[in-house]
Amino acid sequence: MALSKVELENLMTELKPHVETQDKKLATGLAAYTALFKAHPEYISHFSRLQGLDASNVMKSEGIKHYATTLVEAVVKMLDEAADKNKLDAVTKKYGQDHVTRQVTKTEFMNGLPIFISVFQGLVSEPKNKESLKKFLDYIFKEMCIEIKA
């Protein structure tokens, strides 16, 4: 389910400093992908700009900078719509469809959920905001996964 306006406002107050500039988006996204590729280095091959790279060199690549930034931009875009379920569902459908071309299975996609929850919850300290982030990420991952057929 989408977040209430109050949940969203509280969350964004605490999360905003971590996503308000390109440098901060990059740092947040790099943290997420560092954790993902540490747990699942085999996922590197799903990213077209990371072809030929492995766990030893992927985090130094220009390609990962692109993905790190776009990941956080996508999360912020979905948060912008989180108080309106219909708008949020439209955005999650689009991002889910984007993952179809990456040949990601539902299982692989959902394996990222606990990792991203951990990374994003690490950016906030208020328990209610940690819970809002978990609720939000659970929702968007499940909604995006609907589009993934494999």
Q: What end-to-end distance do the CA atoms of the chain give, in Å?
A: 24
Render pLDDT for 93-108 as a digit per residue (tens, 0 to 9): 999 888 888 788 999 9
> How far is Cα 40 from Cα 110, in angstroms, rounded to an integer?
12
Q: Where are the domains of the chain?
A: 5-145
Span of 2-16, 61-75, 93-107, 134-148 with lowest mean pLDDT: 93-107
CATH fold of 5-145 reads Globin-like (1.10.490)
Render pLDDT for 3-43 as a digit per residue (tens, 0 to 9): 889 999 999 999 999 999 999 999 999 999 999 999 999 99
CB-count burial class (<10 Å; 0-12, 13-18, 19+) for 75: buried
> How far is Cα 59 from Cα 49, in angstroms, rounded to an integer?
12
> How far is Cα 57 from Cα 114, in angstroms, rounded to an integer?
24
pTM over 0.85: yes
